[in-house]
Structure 1
Amino acid sequence: MLFTSLRKRRVLVVEDDYLQASDMAAALEVHGSSVVGPFPSVEDGIRAVDDGIEAAILDIRLDNDLVYAVADVLRSRNLPFIFVTGYDDVVPDRFQRVRRVMKPCRPDAAVLTLAVAIAEHRTSH
């Protein structure tokens, strides 16, 4: 039932690991989402927000950069998103309540977490 929140939804994926990004994109498509990306950089992710996205999966560490600038843009537009990370990152206070999935993870775990975040977002707005 939760996965129905993903149908016909444009989901941005910002992830610099090609295999992880491809697997997440495939898992989203299985559940009816249209994937925007995947993009490996903060700059590409910010530009993609203007492409009519409705939700996002963001890897926190992208090479030597952090994805928080993309998250700030998403939050300013009131769009749901989650973080995935392979590190025990220190998440800024402003993002402490954002759902996170620790890598390595199965792509379906990230997709399920995003579906939960979308459902919570709907009920809180």
Structure 2
Amino acid sequence: MTDKLDGLRVLVVEDEMMVSMLIEDMLTDLGCTIVGPASRLDEALQLAQSAELDCAVLDVNLGGQPIFPLADVLREKGAPFAFATGYGDAGLRDVDKGSPVLQKPFREADLARVLSELREKAGV
């Protein structure tokens, strides 16, 4: 499965440094290219506008700030994304229901599966 993910450019948006580092390690192991990471919404929005990316993994809550403005920007750009949250899809807006959700804590195999789905959606 890893070969399918080689070179996939993944925007990482996570406000907890240890979790962000863990996700980055998993992405590196899977052969992905890390975009960011961003720990604040303004950083993430700037990266989404300026960086080349194929998909994104989004923490739903960045220090009390919901990630939904970024989800809207990514949706407009046609960049698929997955939410990473400890609350399942309970904390998502209706428009985001049905988006892939990585239930925290997640394993590398879970991340690989979701990224494969996102890569298919992105057509890369």
The alignment's TM-score, normalised by the length of structure 1, stands at 0.86
Aligned to 2:56: 56
Retained in 2: the 8 A contact 1:6–1:115? yes
Q: C-alpha offsets along residues 6-54 of structure 1, whole Å, 9 cap, x if unaligned? A: 2112110000111111111111111221101211111111101121111
Tell me the equivalent position of 1:96: 97
Contact 2:54 2:119 in 1 (8 A): no
Aligned residues between the structures? 122
Amino acid in structure 2 at the alignment position of 1:90: G
**Range with bigger deviation, 45-54 or 3-12:** 3-12
**1:105 alignment partner, SS class:** coil
Give the root-mean-square deviation of aligned CA atoms: 1.8
- Matched residue type, 2:3: T
1:15-94 to structure 2, matched below 5 A, reads: 15-49=14-48, 50-88=50-88, 89-94=90-95
What amino acid sits opposite 1:57 in the alignment?
A: V
Rounded to whole Å, the distance in 2 between the matches of 1:36 and 1:93 is 27
Normalised by the length of structure 2, the TM-score is: 0.87
Q: 1:90 to 1:106 in 2, by over 3 A?
A: same
Runs of 4+ in 1 over 4 A off after TM superposition: none
Q: Distance in 1 between matches of 2:24 and 2:113?
A: 13
Mapped to 2, the partners of 1:25 and 1:53 lie a distance apart of 15
1:118 aligns with 2:119: yes
